[in-house]
């Protein structure tokens, strides 16, 4: 954190590399959702319009596959970065789900229902962020595996009977739908519509959040930074 940031009360929350990965994820998931749902709901006139815009079903498939390859590359890079890099390793440790997260979740429920006086105090990542992170990761892996199976259908069917590919298609489509629905509702709420960030949490562009916001939403992280003399 630079002196200027500190003076302005800014705290870095997303490094440049993470922002790039996040931006790629945003763009690619959008492309995959648009091209994927157009096929899934091909009876719909809007979907048909989209498919024609993409240059027919054949070209739609090409666009979908290019985006998919880039998404998978992004995921592989992310996994290696989290496992091996100096920045990634501690980040990953903070993302592990533990007993504390379940307690936090239950406490937040009790608090919101008016049954507790204290609201849970989160570290850098609260249970909401962890749910989003692991949910998205698991979803991407599932969609990638089934997607590759369907892409290389002739190769897949050397090993699997047709029914497995039918299953892969069902999982691919519905998992995509589930991921999209969660992203749209949950992520939209947490980073855009939530009263503390509305209209938008700027960290995905600037990488920074205000120290004030951090103290409010992630007090343990705030205190940690303060102890380390970074604030």
Chain residues that interact with other proteins, rule: CB under 8 A: 39, 42, 51, 56-58, 108-109, 111-114, 119, 153-154, 157-164, 166-167, 170-171, 174-175, 177-178, 181-182, 185-186, 189, 194-196
User: 82 or 168, CB closer to other proteins?
Assistant: 168
User: 15 or 112, CB closer to other proteins?
Assistant: 112
Nearest distance in Å: CB 149, other proteins: 13
User: 19 or 110, CB closer to other proteins?
Assistant: 110
Nearest distance in Å: CB 165, other proteins: 8
Question: How is 38-106 classified by DSSP, letter by letter?
Answer: HHHTTTSHHHHHHHHHTTHHHHHHHHHHHHHHHHHHHHHHHHHHHHHSTTHHHHHHHH---HHHHHHHH
Helix H or strand E segment including 220: helix 219-227
210: β partners: 10
Vertex 82: Cα angle to 79 and 85 (nearest 5): 120
Task: Report the largest interatomic distance among the alpha carbons of the chain, rounded to a whole angstrom.
Answer: 63
C-alpha radius of gyration, the chain, whole number? 21
Nearest distance in Å: CB 142, other proteins: 11
User: 12 or 150, CB closer to other proteins?
Assistant: 150
Instruction: Count how many Cα atoms sit within 13 Å of the Cα of residue 219 in the half-sphere of its side chain.
Output: 5
Nearest distance in Å: CB 4, other proteins: 29
User: 178 or 220, CB closer to other proteins?
Assistant: 178
Nearest distance in Å: CB 24, other proteins: 25
Report CA dihedral (83, 88, 90, 94) to the nearest 10 degrees: -90
Nearest distance in Å: CB 28, other proteins: 21
User: 134 or 189, CB closer to other proteins?
Assistant: 189
* Bond into 199 cis (ω within 30): yes
């Amino acid at each position: 954190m630079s002196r200027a940031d500190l003076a302005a009360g800014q705290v870095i929350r997303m490094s440049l590399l993470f922002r790039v990965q996040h931006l790629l994820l945003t763009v690619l998931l959008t492309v995959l959702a648009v091209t994927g749902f157009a096929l899934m709901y091909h009876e719909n006139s809007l979907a048909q319009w989209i498919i024609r815009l993409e240059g027919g079903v054949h070209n739609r498939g090409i666009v979908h596959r290019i985006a998919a390859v880039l998404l998978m590359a992004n995921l592989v890079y992310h996994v290696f970065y989290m496992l091996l890099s100096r920045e990634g390793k501690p980040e990953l440790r903070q993302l592990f789900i533990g007993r504390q997260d379940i307690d936090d979740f239950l406490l937040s429920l009790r608090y919101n229902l008016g049954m507790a006086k204290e609201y849970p105090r989160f570290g850098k990542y609260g249970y909401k962020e962890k749910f989003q992170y692991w949910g998205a990761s698991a979803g991407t892996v599932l969609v990638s595996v089934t997607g590759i199976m369907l892409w290389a259908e002739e190769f897949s069917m050397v090993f699997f009977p047709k029914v497995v590919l039918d299953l892969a298609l069902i999982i691919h489509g519905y998992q995509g739908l589930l991921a999209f629905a969660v992203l749209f509702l949950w992520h939209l709420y947490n980073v855009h519509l939530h009263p503390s960030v509305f209209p938008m949490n700027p960290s995905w562009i600037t990488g920074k959040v205000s120290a004030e916001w951090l103290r409010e939403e992630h007090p343990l992280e705030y205190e940690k930074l303060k102890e380390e003399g970074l604030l």
